[in-house]
């Protein structure tokens, strides 16, 4: 399956042929053995484009980070872009997404994951079915510049 690998460790964006199955996804998401992926998450980035990345990426101090312009938060570690359908199956990446045009929507960040997050806050949300319920609003990941003190 045609996919794009975004590798912030080497600041590289590469088209790959991704074999079907979980082992291929885990292998592609672990280009740096120091940041092996044990659990990944899937984000729907467009109606037919999915992103696969390390679910625990910000918990790994020193993990490389980048910003994908179609997603509101920074991302940590390597990410795969694939196609996807309404049934939840991965597909070839749409032809409009290429290794030549993806760099225009990626910004490499100099800050690395610190393993820390800004403090969470508590609040209350008005759920349409459950009514007023408590909510924990998670803090954003803290990135550290490479020469910053921990």
Determine the structural domain holding residue 139 and report its residue range: 114-144
Mean pLDDT of 53-80: 94
- Give the up-direction half-sphere exposure of residue 22: CA atoms within 13 A in the CB hemisphere: 5
52, 88: one domain: yes
Model pLDDT for residues 44-66, shown as the tens digit of each residue: 999 999 999 999 999 999 999 99
Residue 137 pLDDT exceeds 80: no
One domain, residues 47 and 104:
yes
Same domain, 126 and 78: no
The alpha-carbon radius of gyration of the chain (Å, integer) is 17
Residue 94 in any domain: the answer is: yes
Give per-residue burial for 66-93: e unless 16+ CB within 10 Å, then b.
bbbeeeeebbbbbbbbbbbeeeeebbeb
pLDDT at 148: 54
Same domain, 124 and 81: no
Q: Tell me, yes or no, whether 83 and 131 share the same domain.
A: no
- 10 within domain boundaries: yes
Check residues 16 and 140 and name the one with the higher pLDDT. 16
- Tens of pLDDT, residue by residue over 81-120, are 999 888 878 899 999 999 999 999 999 999 999 999 888 7
């Amino acid at each position: 399956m045609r996919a794009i690998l975004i590798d912030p460790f080497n600041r590289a964006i590469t088209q790959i042929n991704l074999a079907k199955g979980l082992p291929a996804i885990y292998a592609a998401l672990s280009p740096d053995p120091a940041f092996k992926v044990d659990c990944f998450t899937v984000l729907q980035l467009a109606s037919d484009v999915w992103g696969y990345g390390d679910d625990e990426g910000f918990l790994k101090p020193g993990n490389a980070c980048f910003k994908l312009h179609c997603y509101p938060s920074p991302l940590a570690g390597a990410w795969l872009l694939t196609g996807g359908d309404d049934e939840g199956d991965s597909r070839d990446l749409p032809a409009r997404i290429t290794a030549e045009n993806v760099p225009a929507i990626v910004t490499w960040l100099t800050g690395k994951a610190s393993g820390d997050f800004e403090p969470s806050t508590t609040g209350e949300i008005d759920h349409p079915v459950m009514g007023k319920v408590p909510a924990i609003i998670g803090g954003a990941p803290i990135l550290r510049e490479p020469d910053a003190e921990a």
